[in-house]
Amino acid sequence: MKRKRAPEGPAMLELRGVTKDYGDLIALHPTDLVVPVGQAVALVGHNGSGKSTLLRIVAGLLDASDGEIVVDGHAAGTPDARAATSYVPDEPVLYDDLSVREHMLYVGALHGITVTDETVDELTGRLGLTGRVDDLPARFSRGLRQKAGLAVGFVRPYSLLLVDEPFVGLDAPGRESLLVLLDEASDAGATLVIATHDPTFVERVDRCIALRDGRVVHDGAATPDDVLRLVGG
């Protein structure tokens, strides 16, 4: 079911003239964006379009070459901005010697919350990790690692959720569970920016931002056919 566009309100995320220039490559041309609190956004584009670069800059993991990024009223990369942001990369960063459960307990403690075993079991069960929660993700397949990374991303508190290509490697049940979790996060008031190659995902969000060669080529409502046309698919 297509979602209604979220009402305009206070900004959760602002980009003002943000660029990323590697000298021989401009990964992100000057970009201005405002994402209101509670809005769900699909960030679409082919590999190399700038999606991952934009998310990493917002998450404070990559310095912009120019411009300003504000998250929940704080400069990106500052402790307050990081506290507000949960970022799940396309290649999950997981410790070799911690189980899925230990990852979730550790991340919760880092953010000042106590994660119960019941919470761990409920979330991992929904993502299809039942029976693997006490295993080491280092030994997992690509799809299981993706599920573990998502569990870690969802278990901590956040106001802004950034997820890069979450559907890659997921089986059909995992995909459906993730879609429900994203809907629940949005319904709870979180702001979502989800980078994806999947054009059908735009039917579930309030807004579609399309990137091509580091430039915003569309910002607004879109259909799956629009996405394929906009990104050159």
- Which pLDDT tens digit goes with each residue over 55-74? 999 999 999 999 999 999 99
User: What percent helix, strand, coil does the chain show, rounded to 5?
Assistant: 35, 25, 40
Question: CA 16, CA 34: separation in Å to the nearest integer?
Answer: 9
Flag whether pLDDT at 7 surpasses 80. no
Q: Residue 125: what pLDDT?
A: 95
DSSP symbol at 115: P
Residue 1: predicted pLDDT: 38
Other beta carbons within 10 Å of 139: 10
> Distance of CA 201 to CAs 30, 40, 183, 227, Å?
26, 11, 12, 10
Render pLDDT for 128-173 as a digit per residue (tens, 0 to 9): 999 999 999 988 998 999 999 999 999 999 999 999 999 988 889 9
Is 3's pLDDT higher than 60? no
> Between 138 and 217, whose confidence is greater?
217
* 84 within 8 A of 71, measured Cβ to Cβ: yes
CA-CA-CA-CA torsion sign (58, 63, 64, 66): positive
Mean pLDDT of 79-84: 97
Least reliable range by pLDDT among 19-23, 90-94, 122-126, 183-187: 90-94
Q: Is 219 left (phi over 0), alpha (psi -120 to 50) or beta?
A: beta
**Of 33-37, 44-48, 227-231, the least confident:** 227-231
> Residue 70 pairs with which residues in a beta bridge?
14, 75
Average pLDDT, the chain: 93
Domains and CATH numbers, the chain: 11-95+159-230 (3.40.50.300)
Cβ contact 233:46 at 8 Å:
yes
Instruction: Give φ, ψ of 218 to 5 degrees.
Output: -160, 145
pTM comes to 0.94
Which has the minimum average pLDDT: 76-85, 138-147, 206-215?
A: 138-147
198-232: b (≥16 Cβ within 10 Å) or e: bbebbebbbbbbbbbebebebeeebebebbeebbe
Closest CA to 50 of 195, 206, 220, 229: 195
DSSP 8: P
> Which pLDDT value is given to residue 9?
75
- Say what the pLDDT of residue 2 is: 45
Tell me which residue has tokens 């305009």.
8
pLDDT, tens digit, for every residue of 187-205?
999 999 999 988 999 999 9
Structure-token pair, residue 195: 């980078």
SS3 at position 201: helix
What percent of the chain shows pLDDT beyond 70? 96
Task: Report the pLDDT value the prediction gives residue 85, as an integer from 0 to 100.
Answer: 98
Q: E strands, 188-230, where?
A: 191-196, 207-212, 215-220
pLDDT per residue as tens digits for the range 24-40: 899 999 999 999 999 99
